[in-house]
Amino acid sequence: MNIIVTGGAGFIGSNFIFHMLEAHPDYRIICLDKLTYAGNLSTLKSVMDKLNFRFVKLDICDRSGVYKLFEEEKPDIIVNFAAESHVDRSIEDPSVFLQTNIIGTSVLMDACRKYGITRYHQVSTDEVYGDLPLDRPDLFFTEETPIHTSSPYSSSKAGADLLVMAYHRTFGLPATISRCSNNYGPYHFPEKLIPLMIANCLNDKPLPVYGEGLNVRDWLYVEDHCKAIDLVIHKGRVGEVYNIGGHNEMRNIDIVKLICKELGKPESLITHVKDRLGHDMRYAIDPTKIHNELGWLPETKFAEGIKKTIKWYLDNREWWEEIISGEYQNYYKKMYEGR
Ligand code: NAD
Ligand code: TYD
């Protein structure tokens, strides 16, 4: 089995590659990644020399490059993680989100039609469903919840999902989509809530909580997400959407306080800053379908996963210190200074 994993130098894609090489040592994994600011080759260091692994630096929007790779590798399965993934950046500049997340997805699917594959899998997000009110804890996103997006990021992901369904219906592309809640774990880029707060705590820097910090996210350990995708690409029904989430809802403020506690830092580091525009209040996934059809259940409890994650950031300081010492400084100033 030859599998192309796009965006494999990013957070979830790299964890997925590690999972697949371990779970299916007989598969060949080809990582296609543009290496944007969010992609790091150092993340893939431990697998670079494996005979059944290949890294290719390529933009998913580069049609001729993508076609050439398909000709060379004759992949059976494509798993598309490649995306611009940060909501705050999409508010600053939506254009690259439309380019990579929508146009890039169409280029990959055109290649799949031209060369033939057994499965195209689109890694999507629960954010395509918009948000839920805080005073209705009985409501959850199911696969039938209407698409109702809030940010340029989630709109671009929703646009891609609609295209995937259209390619399935119109051209018979054997496609599946998974929509997952917020992930956390190793190799998470420190612009996102959990790694940003860990890095700032360790550097005794202010912890910028947007607004009151009452927004709720449904957190899932990244390995559990990877195992779910492994199941969907092998056993999921084509043309179907699978929601992935762990019934682990937490308020942002409680997560930040927990990180302070775990690292022995004072809560006085917490600084409430101007809220995000269009900020979604609550995400919450109903994972009944993937549980009933594919037997998936999350394995890592949040209390254990956050400890493992914090330990990873303590043990791998060089990985994130290198990131935050570069271009990230300009990003941080632009987004947080005087906020
Ligand atoms: P990430 O930002 O950490 O990584 C994205 C990767 O894609 C990077 O390696 C980057 O270099 C690469 N990339 C970007 N544009 C590219 C292009 N044009 N061509 C090729 N490669 C390109 O993102 P992530 O958090 O790992 O998310 C991966 C996928 O999972 C995304 O599609 C995202 O929408 C989805 N998702 C993420 C979460 C989450 O909590 N992080 C939750 C649900 C779904
Ligand atoms: P994020 O990790 O960007 O994921 P998403 O917006 O895709 O859910 O943010 C998670 C939550 O944390 C979200 O409600 C915004 C909030 N947040 C902060 O309060 N401060 C920050 O510095 C960041 C990056 C996020």
Per residue of the chain (339 residues), give pLDDT as tens.
Answer: 999 999 999 999 999 999 999 999 999 999 999 999 999 999 999 999 999 999 999 999 999 999 999 999 999 999 999 999 999 999 999 999 999 999 999 999 999 999 999 999 999 999 999 999 999 999 999 999 999 999 999 999 999 999 999 999 999 999 999 999 999 999 999 999 999 999 999 999 999 999 999 999 999 999 999 999 999 999 999 999 999 998 999 999 999 999 999 999 999 999 999 999 999 999 999 999 999 999 999 999 999 999 999 999 999 999 999 999 989 999 999 999 999
DSSP string, 74-116: --SEEEE--S---HHHHHH--HHHIIIIIIIHHHHHHHHHHH-
| CA–CA dist 129, 313 (Å, integer) | 31
| CA–CA dist 253, 211 (Å, integer) | 10
Beta bridge partners of 141: 285
Q: What is the CATH number of the domain that holds 148?
A: 3.40.50.720
Using a 6 Å cutoff on CB, does residue 182 contact ligand 2?
A: yes
How far is ligand 1, taken at its centre, from the CA of residue 86, in Å? 9
Q: How many alpha carbons lie under 13 Å from residue 9 in its C-beta half-sphere?
A: 20
The token pair at 334 is: 């632009």
- Ligand closest to CA 15: 1
Surface-to-core class of residue 72, CB atoms within 10 Å of its CB (0-12 exposed, 13-18 middle, 19+ buried): exposed
One of 33, 59, 84, 126 is an active-site residue; which one? 126
Nearest to 171 by CA among 211, 130, 120, 127: 120
pLDDT at 246: 85
**pTM, whole model, 2 decimals?**
0.98
- Ligand closest to CA 279: 2
The number of the ligand 2 atom at minimal distance from the alpha carbon of 255 is 12
Of all protein residues, the one whose alpha carbon is nearest to atom 10 of ligand 1 is 39
Which domain, by its residues, includes 195? 2-336
The number of the ligand 2 atom at minimal distance from the alpha carbon of 213 is 19
Using a 6 Å cutoff on CB, does residue 123 contact ligand 1?
A: yes
Number of domains in the chain: 1
Active-site residue, 126 included: yes
Nearest to 244 by CA among 230, 259, 264: 230
pLDDT at 290: 98
| CA–CA dist 12, 178 (Å, integer) | 13
List b or e across 239-264, with b for residues whose CB sees 16 or more CB atoms inside 10 angstroms. ebbbbbbbebbbbbbebbbbbbebee
Using a 6 Å cutoff on CB, does residue 157 contact ligand 2?
A: no
How far is ligand 1, taken at its centre, from the CA of residue 7, in Å? 6
Using a 6 Å cutoff on CB, does residue 183 contact ligand 2?
A: no
**Angle of CA points 248, 249, 252, to nearest 5°:** 130
> What ranges in 264-301 are assigned the alpha helix state H?
288-294
Using a 6 Å cutoff on CB, does residue 153 contact ligand 1?
A: no
Active-site residue, 127 included: yes
pLDDT at 248: 96
| CA–CA dist 248, 260 (Å, integer) | 20
Using a 6 Å cutoff on CB, does residue 231 contact ligand 1?
A: no
Which residue of 41, 78, 81, 84 sits with most ligand 1 atoms within 8 Å of its CB, as the best mutation to test the pocket?
81
- Ligand closest to CA 150: 2
| CA–CA dist 207, 116 (Å, integer) | 48
| CA–CA dist 32, 104 (Å, integer) | 12
Using a 6 Å cutoff on CB, does residue 181 contact ligand 2?
A: no
